[in-house]
A and B are shown apart, each in its own frame.
Chain A
Amino acid sequence: MPIEVLMPALSPTMTEGTLAKWNVKEGDIVASGDVIAEIETDKATMEVEAVDEGTIGKLVIDAGTENVAVNQVIAYILEEDEDASALDNVSASSAPKADAAPAKEEEASSDEAPAAASSSAAPVSASGAIERSEAEPRAMSVMNSTQDEKTYTSFKTQTVREALRDAMAEEMRTDENVFVMGEEVAQYQGAYKVTQGLLDEFGDKRVIDTPITEHGFTGLATGSAFMGLKPVLEFMTFNFAMQAIDQIINSAAKTLYMSGGQLGCPIVFRGPNGAASRVGAQHSQCYASWYAHCPGLKVVAPWSAADAKGLLKAAIRDPNPIVFLENEIMYGQSFEVPDDEDFVLPIGQAKIEREGTDVTIVAFSIMVGKALKAAEQLAEQGISAEVINLRTIRPLDVNTIVRSVMKTNRLVTVEEGWHFSGIGAEIASVVMEHAFDYLDAPVARVTGEDVPMPYAANLEALALPQDSHIVAAAKAVCYR
Chain B
Amino acid sequence: MATTPKRKRGTTRADNQASSDDLLKYYREMLLIRRFEEKAGQLYGMGLIGGFCHLYIGQEAVVVGMQAAASDEDGVITSYRDHGHMLATGMDAAGVMAELTGREGGYSRGKGGSMHMFSKEKNFYGGHGIVGAQVPLGTGIAFSYKYRGENRVCMTYLGDGAVNQGQVYEAFNMAALWQLPVIYCIENNQYAMGTSTQRHSSSPDLYERGKAYGIPGEQVDGMDVLAVKAAGERAVAHCREGKGPYILELKTYRYRGHSMSDPAKYRTKDELDKMRKEHDPIDMVKKLLIDGNIVDEAGLKDIDKEVKAEVAKAAEFAQNSPEPDVSELFTDILIDA
Pick the contact of A251: B39, B48, B137, B332 (CB < 8 A): B137
Q: Which residue of A lies closest to B170 (CB)?
A: A216
Are A224's CB and B48's CB within 8 A?
Answer: no
Query: Within residues 199 to 224 of chain A, which ones have a CB less than 8 A from any CB in chain B?
Result: 205, 210-211, 213, 215-224
Query: Within residues 42 to 72 of chain B, which ones have a CB less than 8 A from any CB in chain A?
Result: 42, 44-51, 57
Chain A residues near B140 (CB-CB < 8 A): 219-227
Mark B297-337 against chain A: 1 for CB-CB distance below 8 A, else 0.
Answer: 00000000000000000000001100100110111111101
| B159 in the interface (beta carbon within 8 A) | no
A-B contact pairs, 30 of them (CB 8 A): A6-B46, A8-B42, A8-B44, A9-B46, A32-B38, A33-B57, A46-B257, A48-B45, A70-B46, A71-B46, A114-B319, A131-B326, A135-B330, A137-B329, A140-B334, A215-B166, A216-B171, A218-B136, A219-B135, A219-B170, A220-B136, A221-B140, A223-B136, A223-B138, A224-B143, A250-B130, A259-B116, A259-B118, A259-B127, A318-B337
Binding site for A on B (CB under 8 A): 34-35, 38-39, 41-42, 44-51, 57, 77, 101-103, 106-112, 116-120, 125-130, 133, 135-141, 143-145, 147-148, 166-167, 169-171, 173-174, 177, 255, 257, 260-263, 265, 276, 319-320, 323, 326-327, 329-335, 337
How many Å lie between the Cα of A383 and that of B35 in the bound state? Answer: 75
Query: Within residues 58 to 96 of chain A, which ones have a CB less than 8 A from any CB in chain B?
Result: 70-71
Looking at the assembled complex, report how far the CB atom of A7 sits from the nearest CB atom of chain B, in whole angstroms.
Answer: 8
How many Å lie between the Cα of A261 and that of B328 in the bound state? Answer: 11
Chain A residues near B334 (CB-CB < 8 A): 140, 256, 296, 298, 320
How many Å lie between the Cα of A220 and that of B148 in the bound state? Answer: 15
| A452 in the interface (beta carbon within 8 A) | no
How many Å lie between the Cα of A222 and that of B107 in the bound state? Answer: 21
Are B323's CB and A135's CB within 8 A?
Answer: no
A251-B133, A255-B126, A320-B337 given as contacts; is B118 within 8 A of A262 (CB)? yes
Are A71's CB and B47's CB within 8 A?
Answer: yes
A119-B50, A222-B140 given as contacts; is B44 within 8 A of A256 (CB)? no
Instruction: Of the listed stretches A105-113, A270-278, A285-293, A425-433, name the one at the interface; the rest are far from the partner chain.
Output: A105-113
Besides the contacts A32-B38, A250-B133, what 12 more A-B pairs have beta carbons closer than 8 Å? A10-B261, A32-B35, A44-B261, A112-B319, A114-B319, A117-B47, A205-B147, A211-B177, A216-B174, A220-B174, A259-B118, A261-B332
A223-B140, A227-B141 given as contacts; is B45 within 8 A of A258 (CB)? no
Pick the contact of B320: A6, A112, A128 (CB < 8 A): A112
A44-B263, A229-B144 given as contacts; is B332 within 8 A of A115 (CB)? no
Pick the contact of A116: B50, B112, B116, B335 (CB < 8 A): B50
Looking at the assembled complex, report how far the CB atom of A345 sits from the nearest CB atom of chain B, in whole angstroms.
Answer: 12
Q: Which residue of B lies closest to A47 (CB)?
A: B263
| A12 in the interface (beta carbon within 8 A) | yes
Are A115's CB and B333's CB within 8 A?
Answer: no
Q: Which residue of B lies closest to A137 (CB)?
A: B330
A45-B263, A220-B139, A296-B333 given as contacts; is B144 within 8 A of A115 (CB)? no
Are B136's CB and A215's CB within 8 A?
Answer: yes
Chain A residues near B50 (CB-CB < 8 A): 12, 115-116, 119
Chain A residues near B167 (CB-CB < 8 A): 215-216, 219, 247
How many Å lie between the Cα of A347 and that of B335 in the bound state? Answer: 13
Binding site for B on A (CB under 8 A): 6-12, 32-33, 43-46, 48-49, 51, 70-71, 105, 108, 112-119, 122, 127-128, 131-132, 135, 137, 140, 179, 205, 210-211, 213, 215-229, 246-247, 250-251, 255-264, 295-296, 298, 314, 317-320, 347
Are A258's CB and B141's CB within 8 A?
Answer: no
Chain B residues near A131 (CB-CB < 8 A): 326-327, 329
How many Å lie between the Cα of A105 and that of B48 in the bound state? Answer: 11
How many Å lie between the Cα of A320 and that of B169 in the bound state? Answer: 28
Chain B residues near A116 (CB-CB < 8 A): 46-48, 50
A220-B143, A222-B140, A247-B133 given as contacts; is B173 within 8 A of A211 (CB)? yes
Chain A residues near B129 (CB-CB < 8 A): 250
Are B326's CB and A216's CB within 8 A?
Answer: no
Are B141's CB and A226's CB within 8 A?
Answer: yes
How many Å lie between the Cα of A264 and that of B118 in the bound state? Answer: 11
A135-B327, A219-B133, A319-B337 given as contacts; is B144 within 8 A of A12 (CB)? no
Are A317's CB and B337's CB within 8 A?
Answer: yes
Are B46's CB and A132's CB within 8 A?
Answer: no
Looking at the assembled complex, report how far the CB atom of A81 sits from the nearest CB atom of chain B, in whole angstroms.
Answer: 13
How many Å lie between the Cα of A206 and that of B141 in the bound state? Answer: 16
Looking at the assembled complex, report how far the CB atom of A325 sits from the nearest CB atom of chain B, in whole angstroms.
Answer: 18
Looking at the assembled complex, report how far the CB atom of B225 sits from the nearest CB atom of chain A, in whole angstroms.
Answer: 18
Are A213's CB and B118's CB within 8 A?
Answer: no
How many Å lie between the Cα of A140 and that of B334 in the bound state? Answer: 10
Chain A residues near B135 (CB-CB < 8 A): 219
A215-B170, A257-B111 given as contacts; is B125 within 8 A of A263 (CB)? yes
How many Å lie between the Cα of A8 and that of B331 in the bound state? Answer: 34
How many Å lie between the Cα of A71 and that of B42 in the bound state? Answer: 10
Are A246's CB and B130's CB within 8 A?
Answer: yes
How many Å lie between the Cα of A197 and that of B20 in the bound state? Answer: 59
How many Å lie between the Cα of A205 and that of B335 in the bound state? Answer: 28
Q: Which residue of B lies closest to A80 (CB)?
A: B301
Are B111's CB and A319's CB within 8 A?
Answer: no
Pick the contact of B137: A118, A219, A262 (CB < 8 A): A219
Q: Which residue of A lies closest to B47 (CB)?
A: A116
Max chain B CB contacts within 10 Å: which of A48, A216, A217, A318?
A: A216
Are A260's CB and B109's CB within 8 A?
Answer: yes
Chain A residues near B39 (CB-CB < 8 A): 51
Q: Which residue of A lies closest to B117 (CB)?
A: A259
Chain B residues near A119 (CB-CB < 8 A): 50, 102
